[in-house]
Every structure is written in C-alpha cells, then in structure tokens.
C-alpha cells in the first residue's frame, strides 16, 4: 500500500520508474516487481493505468484555455503526446480528443436535461 501511495503521489513525475520507486522504499527493483506480480500486473502497467485514468477524468472536465489534450497528458507524466494517444486508444478504444469531444457533449446534454426537469437536478437524500 505504501508503494502504491508513493506512486499515486508522484504520478505527474515523468521520471517515475521502478528504480526510483524501489530506492524510495529501500527495496530492490526485483522485490518491487515481485510485489506487483502477485496482482498480475507489472509496475509500469500499474503506473500507466493510473495515469491514463487521471487523464481520462481530466479530459471530461471543461477545458481551461490552453488545456489541450497534450497539456493533460503532460500533467500526468506523459512526455510524448503521440505515445499518450496510442496508449489512451489502446486502453479505451477511442482517441483522447474524441473522448473529450463526446464526453463533453454527453455532459452538456445531461446538464440541460437536469435543468429542464421539474424541481431541478435530482438530489440524493
């Protein structure tokens, strides 16, 4: 859990890699890989999955000026926009730009429908 917490706190660091993670926890790289092996995933795969999830979430938020797809990718540690696009498409079956466009369109339709509903947006008790 401490290793995963460390990774999550440092996801934005493009240099986040097994040797640095192992050194921060005073374990060998081999032992670090062994910890993740029991979950059926490599350290690199787990990092990439976490980064992609955060990018996916951020792409659905209303973009700030200059907050393009590449900026979102850089924010979460991807240094190459093309690598990010390939990884995103492989993970989610759609390009990041398409995800943003369709996700924001869906969000706008949902928001409009909630505003038109009598009593406004539904609230949880």
Q: What is the mean pLDDT of the chain?
A: 84
The domain that contains 55 carries what CATH number?
A: 1.10.10.60
Is residue 121 situated within a structural domain?
Answer: no
Determine the structural domain holding residue 75 and report its residue range.
2-116
Mean pLDDT of 5-25: 95
φ, ψ at 94 (rounded to 5°):
-150, 150
φ, ψ at 9 (rounded to 5°):
-70, -20
Mean pLDDT of 92-104: 87
pLDDT: which is higher, 94 or 116: 94
Inform me whether the pLDDT recorded for 74 exceeds 50: yes
Q: Please give the structure tokens belonging to residue 54.
A: 């955060």
At residue 102 the predicted structure's pLDDT band, cuts being 50, 70 and 90, is: confident
pLDDT tens digits along 16-25: 999 999 999 9
Is residue 104 situated within a structural domain?
Answer: yes
Mean pLDDT of 65-79: 88
Instruction: Report the phi/psi class of residue 44: left, alpha or beta, with left for phi > 0 and alpha for psi in -120 to 50.
Output: alpha
Q: Are 82 and 90 in contact (CB under 8 A)?
A: no
Q: What is the pLDDT of residue 103?
A: 74
d(CA 84, CA 95): 10
Is residue 69 situated within a structural domain?
Answer: yes
Is residue 89 situated within a structural domain?
Answer: yes
Mean pLDDT of 63-72: 78
Is residue 65 situated within a structural domain?
Answer: yes
Is residue 50 situated within a structural domain?
Answer: yes
Inform me whether the pLDDT recorded for 90 exceeds 80: yes
pTM for the model stands at 0.77
């Amino acid at each position: 859990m401490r290793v995963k917490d460390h990774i999550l706190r440092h996801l934005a660091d493009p240099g986040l890699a097994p040797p640095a993670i192992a050194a921060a926890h005073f374990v060998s790289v081999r032992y670090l890989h062994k910890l993740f092996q029991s979950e059926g995933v490599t350290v690199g795969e787990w990092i990439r999955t976490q980064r992609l999830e955060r990018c996916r979430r951020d792409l659905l938020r209303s973009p700030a000026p200059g907050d393009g797809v590449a900026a979102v990718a850089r924010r979460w540690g991807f240094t190459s926009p093309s690598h990010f696009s390939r990884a995103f498409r492989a993970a989610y079956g759609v390009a990041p730009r398409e995800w943003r466009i369709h996700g924001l369109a869906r969000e706008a339709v949902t928001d409009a429908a909630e505003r038109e509903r009598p009593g406004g947006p539904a609230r949880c008790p």
